[in-house]
Structure 1
Amino acid sequence: MDPEGARLTRLVTCSAAIAGGTSSDGDTPRTMTPSSSSSSSVVVNQVLQLICSDDPGDKIHAAMEIRRLTKTSQRYRRHFSGAVGPLVDMLRSGSVESNEAALLALLNLAVKDETNKVSIIEAGALEPIIGFLQSKNAILQGHATASLLTLSASPVTKPIISASGAIPLLVEVLRNGSPPQSKADAVMALYNLSSYEGNISPILETEPIPGIVSLLKSCKRSSKTAEKCVALIESLVGYEEGRSALTSEEGGVLTVVEVLESGSLQSREHALGALLTMCESDRCKYREPILREGVIPGLLELTVQGTPKSQAKAQTLLRLLRDSPFPRSELQADTLENIVSNLISQIDGEEQPGKAKEMLAEMVQVSMEQSLRHLQQRALVCTPGDLSVTTRTSKIPSK
């Protein structure tokens, strides 16, 4: 029998041994009986033998089997923890096929398993994974980015990944990565890393805001990617460098306001948190950039329909914004301030649904009139191209 045939025979034997312990699709393990548990042990031992063999082909096929078995099974992630060392060794081989198979197997081993995450890093996986981030091979770069996304979910690994030099490379993938999923994975990995306070400064030093805003503009406002983008922005605007970068970036504040209006519930809370942080840090500096993007209608909606947490934050931000930088005469005898005050006072009342909706409609109308007047003023100094960017304050839905 030729070597390839022998290899396939061994793998078929492995699969046959586990047949009693898997579902019909071969991916999801059933509840194991004593006999199926025995079969599982046979499979694990045989695959571990293959991954430790000297035959590169055996290693690749074993890695593919590990990836398959650990795709949805926490139990197999535990069983195959002993494969971490050989898989990391495969990352250092010169074979793209071997690198890809090992990366995907390690990725599945790390999912929802803190012990495996730490073991993978302790085995020396970061060095080759970071090397793949710089690869011209888009597939390897994508798998490496996804691997860092998974590994960065552990509190233990966040400072280690940062110290390895991964942050600038992740920001580079965010800017120029291909395919688009790599950019999404990069921003999620950066978000994970940002939850460790010591990583915020290294992230800000890479000037990530343009890449984050660009990705946020291109994705659906209700998507998971949008949620992580605006969550990362919320973390970064806690620092002056982040606030200045967002207001300096064309469409930066506007894009956050759009998420506030039409994002998922979690995204809207992150967007609200980002804007509130900015306004609380320097009310005079950031109130006008926030107001001119037509934020009031979205805030009013959150005071009525948001979670208790977002209602409270929206009310606070409204109070910070209601002293408008525009002349009082433009706000029709203090109508804006009165409506906000009345709305907030009615939130807990028995007539909340009808009253709040009525006042919300009135508030939106006043805000619309204010926005249109402001647009007319800006039209005097903007080109038609500039004006097309700002007309979203007229509340035309995003496509």
Structure 2
Amino acid sequence: MGKKGKKEMETSKETFDPLPVETKAPATVVLLLNSQEEDVLVKACEAIYTFAEKGNENKVSLFEVGALEPLCKIISHSNNLVRRNAIMALGSMSTNGEVKNALKKLDVIPSLIEKLSNEEDVVVHEFSTLCLASLSVDYVSMAQIFESNGLPPVIQLLSSSDPDVQKNSLEIIFNLVQDYKSRQAVHEFGGMVPLLELLKSDFPVIQQLVLKVLQNLTMDLETRNTFRQEQGFEKLLEILSNQDFSDLHSDVLLIVANCLCNSETIHSLAEDGGLAKVMDFILLPSVPEIHSNAIKCISRSAQSCELLHEHGVEKVLVELLSVENVDVNISTCHAVAAMSLHQASKDTFRDLGGVAKLVESMSSESLHLKEAASAALSNLTHDKNNSMTVFEVGGHTLLIKQLSCSCPKTVANSASTLCNMAEQVKIRRGIWSHGVMEALVEPLKSTDSQILLNSLQCLALLACDSEARVEFQSAGGLPPLVDLLRSHHKDVLARACLAVVGIAIDEFPAVEMYKLGALELLEEINLSVNRRNKFSKLATTALLKSNLSVKYSLTGHLASTDIITHGFYDAGKETWPS
């Protein structure tokens, strides 16, 4: 029997028939993302997208089973359909906060920016921009988009035919232009033209986003110039003239306010009828927010007060001070403060009863309104007639109370206003009689430089009265005043020295300040090249004039104007601190 030969095995060249895979488990679908087969990837990404679109819980589930990392790789796949479905899945998931935080760590931004090229279809653009819009709310991601040159392609997509792409691109730009460098880049890359074109969009959300972007862009001078050159004002006036766009009017007025920062723009707006249009919004009853923003336009254009004065703006503003809306009142006070830099407006506000109404506003429960009203009064009282009006309606008592306010700006403004008023003798006596010296003690302990500057100036002026000086000492004002001689703020130090000059007129406070170390501090100041000032020598002289025994001990002589009354003694020779 012969040997049985081995039968050769035949190798089949056929493949499996298509194997349908059905699963309801997200983890199983995520495993399919590692497949090498394009058909499998297409279906897996499509399933993930459909699942993610059903809600946030599904997006979190996909994240927890590891969908993010493979999706981030597949969005760069060579197959167009795989790439598109993958970016749809990733874009949908990115709208969830937890997923978005995880995406920031995967360095996916450069790949997303690549998907914004003209070669990609509109669906890829839509979901790539959606993903970038979600990420760009974070400062680190915002910086990475900018550094990866993401702005140029995003600006280009503003001209896309797809409204979703436009909306997502606008959101990215809005997030980025919070930063100055991005605002400059949008201008340099020609973003102004497509932005203005989108104001014609049929979608209100797109129009509103454009206006919000323009609010940020028009903060910069160069961008404002381009805005004017591209007929931006004309486009805004068209919106303001159309009641169908009333939901946009508030944001439009904020852009106008930004642009009214130079006289050329203001005069141009006046010639084009824009200023009259803004005045219409102030005059006619409207939504408080629109009212407030129209008034902000007046505040920004205050450098052309003469032009505003010619339009009778003061009368309108005085009327608005009586409107029962705090936000409108606050905006009005800011406008009054701005216009009060012009003498004709100062007089007009007084004649129309505006000064008295501002004093009334100081009684408001709103801290913001008190702050705004005190700023307006501070500017108005540089005029002596306005100071007298404030005094006659009892404004000084309210201002003195505000020296203990929790708002630093209100305290600073109140001290400034009292200082302006105290330049008149009649008013000064009235202010002093209502306890202002005691009220000034607490502001002198502040760390806010403007509060200190204004309070010290007010103190120096009120110290002209001997009774006021006594009251200041009795209220415990000398220790914080002497302590301010340690300040390294040049202007605060100078005004502290000036206040010491005024207080040291009387012997008792002068002796008390000496005991508190004022003389040693003043000598240190006088020996310092950086800290000495025109009042520090005067303060030293004033202290010594009221301490003749100390002066004789330190200098070895007295001047012919030094009159010894009582208590003089020779303590022996002392030396100045070195």
- TM-score normalised by structure 1 residue count: 0.69
- In 2, the alpha carbon distance for the partners of 1:121 and 1:95 equals 22
2:332 partner amino acid? A
> C-alpha deviations, 1:302-345, integer Å up to 9, x for none?
44453455424533433433514xxxxxxxxxxx8555459x9x
Q: 1:277 to 1:2 in 2, by over 3 A?
A: closer
**Contact 1:64–1:105 (8 Å) recurs in 2:** no
Q: 1:236 to 1:27 in 2, by over 3 A?
A: same
**Contact 2:503–2:509 (8 Å) recurs in 1:** yes
Shift of 1:73: 4.7
Shift of 1:227: 1.5
**Contact 1:88–1:123 (8 Å) recurs in 2:** yes
2:262 partner amino acid? P
Match of 1:90 in 2: 320
Q: Do structure 1's residue 108 and structure 2's residue 321 form an aligned pair?
A: no
Match of 2:147 in 1: none
Shift of 1:157: 1.5
Equivalent position to 2:518, from 295, 299, 313: 295
- In 1, the alpha carbon distance for the partners of 2:491 and 2:353 equals 36
- In 1, the alpha carbon distance for the partners of 2:522 and 2:548 equals 12
- In 1, the alpha carbon distance for the partners of 2:548 and 2:244 equals 74
2:576 partner amino acid? M
3-state DSSP class of the match of 2:296?
Answer: helix
- Structure 2 residue runs of 5 or longer lacking an equivalent are 1-240, 560-573
- In 1, the alpha carbon distance for the partners of 2:301 and 2:533 equals 33
**Contact 2:446–2:452 (8 Å) recurs in 1:** no
**Contact 2:260–2:297 (8 Å) recurs in 1:** yes
Shift of 1:93: 2.1
- In 1, the alpha carbon distance for the partners of 2:537 and 2:383 equals 31
Equivalent position to 1:5, from 245, 251, 265: 245
- In 2, the alpha carbon distance for the partners of 1:211 and 1:275 equals 18
**Root mean square deviation of aligned Cα:** 3.3
Match of 1:44 in 2: 275
**Contact 1:60–1:101 (8 Å) recurs in 2:** no
> C-alpha deviations, 1:215-247, integer Å up to 9, x for none?
111224xx1221111111112221122111111
- In 2, the alpha carbon distance for the partners of 1:255 and 1:247 equals 11
| 1:221-260 mapped onto 2 (5 Å cutoff) | 223-250=449-476, 252-260=477-485
**Contact 2:498–2:539 (8 Å) recurs in 1:** yes
| 1:192-341 mapped onto 2 (5 Å cutoff) | 192-220=420-448, 223-250=449-476, 252-262=477-487, 264-280=489-505, 282-283=506-507, 285-304=508-527, 305=529, 306-308=532-534, 310-324=536-550, 337=552, 339-340=554-555
Shift of 1:45: 1.8
- Structure 1 residue runs of 5 or longer lacking an equivalent are 325-335, 345-360, 366-399
**Contact 1:142–1:178 (8 Å) recurs in 2:** no
> C-alpha deviations, 1:97-129, integer Å up to 9, x for none?
33233222222222x222212211211113332
Match of 2:259 in 1: 26
**Contact 1:152–1:193 (8 Å) recurs in 2:** yes
3-state DSSP class of the match of 1:323?
Answer: helix
- In 2, the alpha carbon distance for the partners of 1:322 and 1:268 equals 25
**Contact 1:190–1:232 (8 Å) recurs in 2:** yes
More helix by share: 1
More deviation in 59-68 or 271-280? 59-68
Shift of 1:204: 0.5
**Contact 1:174–1:212 (8 Å) recurs in 2:** yes
- In 1, the alpha carbon distance for the partners of 2:293 and 2:254 equals 12
Q: Do structure 1's residue 130 and structure 2's residue 343 form an aligned pair?
A: no
Q: Do structure 1's residue 364 and structure 2's residue 577 form an aligned pair?
A: yes
Match of 2:350 in 1: 121
1:199 partner amino acid? I
Q: 1:117 to 1:61 in 2, by over 3 A?
A: farther
3-state DSSP class of the match of 1:187?
Answer: helix
1:103 partner amino acid? C
3-state DSSP class of the match of 1:56?
Answer: coil
**Contact 1:130–1:166 (8 Å) recurs in 2:** yes
Shift of 1:138: 1.9
Q: Do structure 1's residue 187 and structure 2's residue 420 form an aligned pair?
A: no
**Contact 2:249–2:290 (8 Å) recurs in 1:** no
**Contact 2:514–2:543 (8 Å) recurs in 1:** no
Match of 2:307 in 1: 79
Match of 1:148 in 2: 377
Q: Do structure 1's residue 56 and structure 2's residue 286 form an aligned pair?
A: yes
- In 1, the alpha carbon distance for the partners of 2:330 and 2:482 equals 40
Q: 1:156 to 1:93 in 2, by over 3 A?
A: same
- TM-score normalised by structure 2 residue count: 0.49
Shift of 1:178: 3.5
Shift of 1:8: 4.0
Shift of 1:261: 3.2
- In 1, the alpha carbon distance for the partners of 2:254 and 2:483 equals 51
Shift of 1:271: 2.7
**Contact 2:504–2:546 (8 Å) recurs in 1:** yes
**Contact 2:494–2:534 (8 Å) recurs in 1:** no
Structure with the larger RCO, 1 or 2 (CA within 8 Å, 6+ apart): 1
Shift of 1:214: 0.5
The alignment-based identity, stated in percent, is 17
Q: 1:122 to 1:202 in 2, by over 3 A?
A: same
> C-alpha deviations, 1:356-396, integer Å up to 9, x for none?
xxxxx96237xxxxxxxxxxxxxxxxxxxxxxxxxxxxxxx
Q: 1:247 to 1:51 in 2, by over 3 A?
A: same
**Contact 1:67–1:108 (8 Å) recurs in 2:** no
> C-alpha deviations, 1:242-275, integer Å up to 9, x for none?
111111123x111111223325444334333333
- In 1, the alpha carbon distance for the partners of 2:351 and 2:424 equals 19
